[in-house]
Structure formats: structure tokens, C-alpha cells
Amino acid sequence: MGCGKRARPFRAGLLGLALSLTAPQARAGSFSPTGALNDARNGHSAALLPNGKVLVVGGYNGQQTDRLASAELYDPASGTWTLTSSLKLGRTLLTATLLRNGKVLVAGGAISSANSTATCELYDPATGTWTSTGTMLTARNSHTATLLLDGKVLVAAGFNRNQDVDLASAELYDPTTGTWSAADTLATARNAHTATLLFDGRVLVAGGAIGSTFTSHATAELFDPATGSWTSTASMNSARQLHCATLLPNGQVLVTGGISDAIVLPQAELYDPDTGTWRPTESLTQGRTVHNATLLPNGKVLAVAGFNDFSTLTDLNSAELYDPATRNWTPTGALTTTREGQVATLLPSGQVLIVAGFHYNPSTWLSSAELYDSTAGPITLVNPRSLPNGTFQFAFTGAPNATNTVLATTNPTQPLSEWTDLGAAPEFAPGLFLFSDSRPPQSGPKWFYRVRFSQP
């Protein structure tokens, strides 16, 4: 483990608070090839493990009878892939969720062109093996899985190939018992939607498709773990499916691209949880769907590749950056391979790993992988504010899966050993952390905070 030594001061202007945060090294934005996977795959999933390696699992390789059971590990230190134990059941359009205990939960997926599964499996990085865990109440693929603040996993909606129906059901997985229980039902059945954990612990589900016509939704709903219920929130300005949703350091959600009425969208919009409303932001430089949108350590969002045009069956190798401060998109380095359906994982180094996928002309399932090097300035501190109940809150970006311990004092000249340890800041999205302190008074001495991080 390593701890940040250098700090950059910040004065919040709220409650006379001062904070200091560590600063990573800067790099130029570009893509470069890295080791190829053992199996080509699309419709797969990935999870960053506590040891910094990336687990890629499942998918489809173009053979009508083959839904992949294989799983592979990427080692950033060597840039190579090695096979690990295979799933008990091959599947595609699955979810893979890193649990608080360090294991990875794989849930559902399609096992053939006509069948979905409700079965689930757990990967243990310590042993490199898979074990069966509780079966979901409903077979589904193209669903979402969200790790809640209490450590449970919310699975929402999706599609059931066995019955050829879109789903409105949701369920909760409890890692302590290895069992599933029914959750409140969504107001609208949907698949190919997004689900985003918000800073207040609620989950925003947006868009998606329904029916044999694959009609896109503009509707959005919120799941509140405190009440166990869904409530409708404002609809997006554009109906869309197969889009991306990214939680920003200011707590808003950026939605990009997707498909609406067989048109690939360049439009992007922002959801504000404080007001429950959507507003347009600058459009992408290109329409894209089945793409990735990854929050970088500098607070910008990297949109990568995807599908662009139904008439020409065009895939993209372009990438672009969204700056929340200016709300503008700018092109960045191009990928070495055009692709769609790839998965993207933010690594502890700040690089983004782009894995496999598919491209047309000719139809090819990909085994290649690439790394994006972002330009990272000092760790970004965003939206320091005092909530109505007196709680002081700030967000910051850093290495994913890191432990960020917050220290506080009223006397910054004290040695760090005398600062008060307030505990670790929860990670709401890869590399995005939020800290809340209910102790600062509305008046009195200044409070000083320091964030100390350690990586596995």
C-alpha cells in the first residue's frame, strides 16, 4: 500500500473549512494496444478486483451455440491476460458486481438465443474459483445490478427470453445470506436501461427499451433503499436505450448517446437529484450507442467508440472528453480498433482498459484490448457544501477501490497523529468518493480536512 505525501490546499468558503488532497501524475490522452484476451467476446462483463487486476467474464463469440463460460484476468503490471476458472454456466448480457467482501457476483444473463437464466455465481479472487449462490426469483438478461450503500445488490428490470417479455420486477441480493428477495416493482418494464447510485443512496433508473418494436423510453424512476420503493421522477428530454449514465463529482448524472426510433443519438443531458429534473448539455461530437462513458481522475468523462449509423453499419474508433465545468465535448486520441459493445474499466493507475467487443464490415468478434492514458491533474474536489441539516459534504476523485481516510482538526499545525480519524469515504462510482461530516458547527473555529489514501 502507498499513501499520498504531497498535498494541495483548498479553502472551501463554507464554515471556514480547509482541505488538502493528493495529486497524481499527469499523462497525455492517447490509446495504445495491450495484451489480447484468450477468447473473443461481446456481451461480456468486467469487474476491478481489490488486487488491481480486472476480471472479464462471459459473453458471446458469434457461434450460435456458444455462450461463453470462460473468465480471464488482466494484470496491469504485465499487460497480459490469463485464464481463470470458468463459470459453471456460460452466459452473455450478464452483470458482474464487486461485493464489499471482495468477491464478484455474476447474476443472470442469456444462455441461448431463446433462454435466460436466474442462476448466479460468486468468484473468489483468493482461490480463483466460482461457486453457486442463491438463484434470482426471475430469469433475466440485459438488466442492471447496483451495489447499494448497505452492501446489498439491487437487480432491476431486464428481459426474459424464456417468456419473451420485458421485466418490471426488481430484487435484492444479500451477501451475508447468499439469498435474493423481491423488491418493489418498477412502474415501467424496461431493458437496455441504466442504473446509477446517487450520493443520497437512491438509485436512478433511466430509459431503456420495451416490446418487440424496441421502443425507447424517456421515463426515469428512483429506488429508495430506506423505503424499499420506486417513485417516478422527471423524464429525459430524449427517449433512449443502450445509452450510458455517469455519476459526476457534483452529484449530477450525465446521460450520453443511445438509440431512439432507430436513430443513434449525439444528445447528452444532465439529471439533478436536488431538483429531480433533466436539462440538455452539449451534444457529443458524434452519435454513439453501445459505447462507454468513464469518469476520469481529473473529473472529466471519456466517451469511447460505439455504433454510429444503421444505414452504413458504422462502428467508431473515436473518443471524446466531457468537461463538467464548461459542459463541452472535445475529441481525444483515437482507438487502434473500431468497436462497439466493449467494456471499460478504470484502473488504479488512472488508465482506462477497453476490452473486446464487436465490429461490422466484416462482422468480427474482438479479443483485442487497449489502454487510454488520461491527463490527470490534482485530485478534483467538487461541490463542497453545507446541507440543510448542518452536514458538511465534499466529493473527490481518486484511484478506484482505494481506501480514502478523512482526517480532521481545528489546528492544522498539529502532527497528523493528532488529527481525528473520521473514517473512510464511500466510493459511489469507480474512483468517485463522497464524504459527509455532521459535526462541524455553523460558527466557531475553522475545520481542516485531509484525505489520506491507500491502495491494495
For 27-48, the pLDDT digits (tens) are 458 999 999 999 999 999 999 9
Is the domain of 247 the same as that of 318? yes
With respect to residue 2, please indicate whether it lies within any of the assigned structural domains.
no
Query: Domain total for the chain?
Result: 2
Q: What is the pLDDT of residue 206?
A: 98
With respect to residue 181, please indicate whether it lies within any of the assigned structural domains.
yes
Is the domain of 98 the same as that of 218? yes
What are the b/e assignments for 190-205, b being 16+ CB within 10 Å? bbbbbbbbbbeebbbb
Rounded to an integer, what distance in angstroms lies between the CA atom of residue 349 and that of residue 454? Answer: 13
- Residue 429's nearest CA partner among 306, 245, 256 is 245
Band the pLDDT of 375: cuts 50, 70, 90. low
Q: What is the pLDDT of residue 401?
A: 92
CATH code, domain with 412: 2.60.40
Average pLDDT of the residues of the chain: 90
**Do residues 232 and 186 touch, judged by C-beta distance below 8 A?**
no
211 vs 127: which has the higher pLDDT: 127
Q: What is the pLDDT of residue 212?
A: 63
Instruction: Calculate mean pLDDT across residues 142-163.
Output: 97
Is the domain of 279 the same as that of 393? no
For residue 377, pLDDT beyond 60: no
Domain end position, chosen among 373, 407, 439: 373
Phi (first) and psi of residue 264, to 5 degrees: -85, 125
* DSSP per position, 282-295: PPPSS--BS-EEEE
Using CA atoms, how far residue 351 sits from 33, 299, 370, 443, in Å, is 12, 13, 10, 42
Long-range contacts of 437-440 (CB under 8 A, 24+ apart): 437/391, 437/392, 437/393, 437/406, 437/408, 438/389, 438/390, 438/391, 438/392, 439/408, 440/15, 440/17, 440/386, 440/390, 440/392
Instruction: Calculate mean pLDDT across residues 285-302.
Output: 95
Beta strands in 217-286 (DSSP E): 220-224, 229-233, 244-247, 253-256, 259-260, 263-264, 268-272, 277-281
With respect to residue 1, please indicate whether it lies within any of the assigned structural domains.
no
The Cβ of residue 427 has, within 10 Å, a number of other Cβ atoms equal to 19
Rounded to two decimals, what is the model's pTM?
0.92
Domain end position, chosen among 344, 373, 402: 373
Q: By mean pLDDT, which of 2-11, 36-45, 126-135 is the weakest?
A: 2-11
With respect to residue 291, please indicate whether it lies within any of the assigned structural domains.
yes
Report the Cα–Cα distance between both ends of the chain, in Å, rounded: 5
Residue 122: helix, strand or coil by DSSP?
Answer: strand
Is the domain of 256 the same as that of 314? yes
Is the domain of 286 the same as that of 268? yes
Domain extent for 423: 8-23+378-454
Instruction: Calculate mean pLDDT across residues 391-397.
Output: 91
Rounded to an integer, what distance in angstroms lies between the CA atom of residue 221 and that of residue 423? Answer: 32
Is the domain of 58 the same as that of 188? yes
Domain end position, chosen among 335, 357, 373: 373
Is the domain of 12 the same as that of 42? no
Residue 259: helix, strand or coil by DSSP?
Answer: strand
